[in-house]
Amino acid sequence: MLTDAECKNATCPPDKKRARLACSGGLYLEISPAGSKRWFYKYRKDGKEGRMALGSYPDIGPKKARDAMTAAKLQKSEGRDPVQVRKVEKLKATRAEGDTFKAIALEWYAKQAPQWSEDHAKRMLRQLERDLFPWIGERRIADIHAMELLAALQKVEERGALETADRALMLARQVWDYWLPTADVQQRNITEGLKARLTPYRGKSFAAIVDPARMGELLRAIKQYKGGPAVRTALQLAPMLYQRPGNLREMEWAELDLDASLWTIPSMKMKRTKLEKEQGEAHTVPLPTQAVALLRNLHPLTGHGRYVFPGERSHDRPISDNSVRSGLYALGFGKEQTWHGFRASARTMLVDHLDVDPLAIEANLAHAVKDANGRSYNRTQYLKQRFELIQQWADYLDKLANGADVIQFKVA
């Protein structure tokens, strides 16, 4: 075995690229012509020779070099490649805060956020910071027990936020799924089965009238609405066009082609991921003759501005979501019908009472659907059918508003 003195005095002949002094068991000191000295451990794995750098002399003396070799041999005896083990350790060391739940969650979040809309990304980060980080954020993710996570989720339940607790569990599940492939040892996803330990809840559905007679009463009440013309027109268009409330209240005159009876909603305004917003197509909404007439009547009042339904305080902003909601309450229908619920009303009544093709309805709703053969439903290709559908629906609503008996039953 080499002594410290031998290592100190070792030199490389000027006519050689390097000199090697054997120590023991595959350990040797390599000296360069410039005088640098490095320790290497030579070993064989799967019939191939490999070597592992153990450090430089004099920072690493003969004893420390032998200890490092012994540790590498132990890894090799366990079936692990010591060089590969070191690479993994270096990669793990690049995570400055270690494998804490917070560090892993933020790493996962940074990967996902670019694909989300800005609002969705903010909501997800806010939930991590509010509901999970305070309780398990600083714990090593490998050491967190399922009961610890459950306790954190139950704190959310204690404030009555059952749906939020379920969403927090969903976030935690995705963080564990992200971390598990790089875990030191094989572990299970501790979120498995925890949903059964949470208080069951029924997702809130938007209140929606689906009875034709009651819908007729609502439509008649809307026509008698005493509020401003912008809100009254929005109330009239909401059941007729059944688009998302945000899209309707942010409708711009530049998006409308009343001569062609079309409303084109830009992709960036649609409920999509960030990438889908950037690369997706606009959503085209056919306008029935009744809608075109309503919009033409409103144009002299708001057509000089950007928004079809400008706010009362500032014409540079659209009406608030609360405007139509308050209108429905003022009419006495607030508990039975929500603005968003008009989508469910149309979806249900079009199928139950007009026997309309559900795929065409979904296309008008801007839902991503596929036909029986698995092809994505092309909303543009079926524009003619959708014009017929929306006109049929608007005419049906007129009959309901007039009190006509138009309830239809499917023939068996």
pLDDT tens track for 223-279: 999 889 999 999 999 999 988 888 999 999 999 999 999 999 888 877 666 656 666
Same domain for 191 and 263?
A: no
Same domain for 348 and 269?
A: yes
CATH number at residue 29: 3.30.160.390
Closest alpha carbon to 32 in 13, 9, 4: 13
409 belongs to a structural domain: no
Same domain for 145 and 84?
A: no
Task: Give the count of alpha carbons within 13 A of 256, CB side only.
Answer: 24
177 belongs to a structural domain: yes
Positions in the chain whose pLDDT score sits under 50: 96-97, 370-380, 407-412
141 belongs to a structural domain: yes
CATH number at residue 219: 1.10.443.10
What local confidence, expressed as pLDDT, does residue 96 receive?
Answer: 47
Number of domains in the chain: 3
What local confidence, expressed as pLDDT, does residue 339 receive?
Answer: 87
407 belongs to a structural domain: no
Of the residues 93, 114, 147, which one is the last residue of a structural domain? 93
- Which residues span the domain enclosing 119? 101-197
Same domain for 267 and 349?
A: yes
Same domain for 396 and 338?
A: yes
Same domain for 251 and 232?
A: yes
What local confidence, expressed as pLDDT, does residue 268 receive?
Answer: 81
Of the residues 72, 93, 114, which one is the last residue of a structural domain? 93
Same domain for 123 and 61?
A: no
Structure tokens at 311: 């706010």
207 belongs to a structural domain: no
Of the residues 49, 69, 93, which one is the last residue of a structural domain? 93
Same domain for 114 and 21?
A: no
CATH number at residue 138: 1.10.150.130
411 belongs to a structural domain: no
206 belongs to a structural domain: no
Same domain for 87 and 184?
A: no
What local confidence, expressed as pLDDT, does residue 147 receive?
Answer: 94
Same domain for 89 and 132?
A: no
63-68 contact pairs (CB < 8 A, 24+): 65/23, 65/27, 65/29, 65/39, 66/1, 66/23, 66/24, 66/25, 66/27, 68/39, 68/41
CA–CA gap between residue 204 and residue 78 (Å, rounded): 55
Contact 287, 264 (CB under 8 A): no
Same domain for 147 and 284?
A: no
Task: Give the count of alpha carbons within 13 A of 347, CB side only.
Answer: 16
Same domain for 20 and 119?
A: no
What local confidence, expressed as pLDDT, does residue 373 receive?
Answer: 45
Helix axes 118-127, 101-112, angle to 10 degrees: 170
Structure tokens at 362: 């979904």
412 belongs to a structural domain: no
HEC profile of the chain? CCCHHHHHHCCCCCCCCCEEEEEECCEEEEECCCCCEEEEEEEEECCEEEEEEEEEECCCCHHHHHHHHHHHHHHHHCCCCHHHHHHHHHHHHCCCCCCEHHHHHHHHHHHHHHHCCHHHHHHHHHHHHHHHHHHHCCCEHHHCCHHHHHHHHHHHHHCCCHHHHHHHHHHHHHHHHHHHHHCCCCCCCCCCCHHHHCCCCCCCCCCCCCCHHHHHHHHHHHHCCCCCHHHHHHHHHHHHHCCCHHHHHCCEHHHEECCCCEEEECHHHCCCCHHHHHHCCCEEEECCHHHHHHHHHHHHHHCCCCECCECCCCCCCECCHHHHHHHHHHCCCCCCCCCCHHHHHHHHHHHHHHCCCHHHHHHHCCCCCECCCCCECCCCCCHHHHHHHHHHHHHHHHHHHCCCCCCCCCCC
